[in-house]
Amino acid sequence: SQRAIVLLEQAQQAAGGAPDDAADAMLGKLYFLLAMALVDLTAEQCAEVALSPDSLMVGVDEHGNAEEAGVPLAAVCHENALNALRTSLDLRPNEPQAEHML
C-alpha cells in the first residue's frame, strides 16, 4: 500500500493538486490500511518494512534502525501507524474505524 500511496499522491501533484474527493477517499483508505499493517509489527518485521525502497516510515535510518537512541523499533512502527491514522482521518474525516483506533 505504500507504493500505491506514493503513486496516487504523485498523480494528484501532476494534476496540479486540485481537490479530488475520490482520490482523497482512496488515499485515506490506503493510509488506514498502512496503519493496520504497521501497528502490530515486531521489531524485526518493522526493520524489514523500513528497509523497503517504497517505505514511507519516518524515524528510521537507512539500516532499518530507530534514529533516536534507546527508542525500540516497534515503538517507531507504532508511531508511524498513528501518523498514518491521522493522515487517513484528514483525508476521510468521518471514518469511524480510524477515529476508534486513535
pLDDT at 38 over 90: yes
pTM of the model: 0.84
State residue 78's pLDDT score: 92
- To 5 degrees, how large is the angle CA 27–CA 33–CA 75? 115
Whether 56 shows a pLDDT value over 90: the answer reads: no
Cell numbers representing residue 70 in the block:
534507546
Residue 82 above 90 pLDDT? yes
Quote the pLDDT of residue 23.
87
How buried is 36 (Cβ within 10 angstroms: 0-12 exposed, 13-18 middle, 19+ buried)? middle
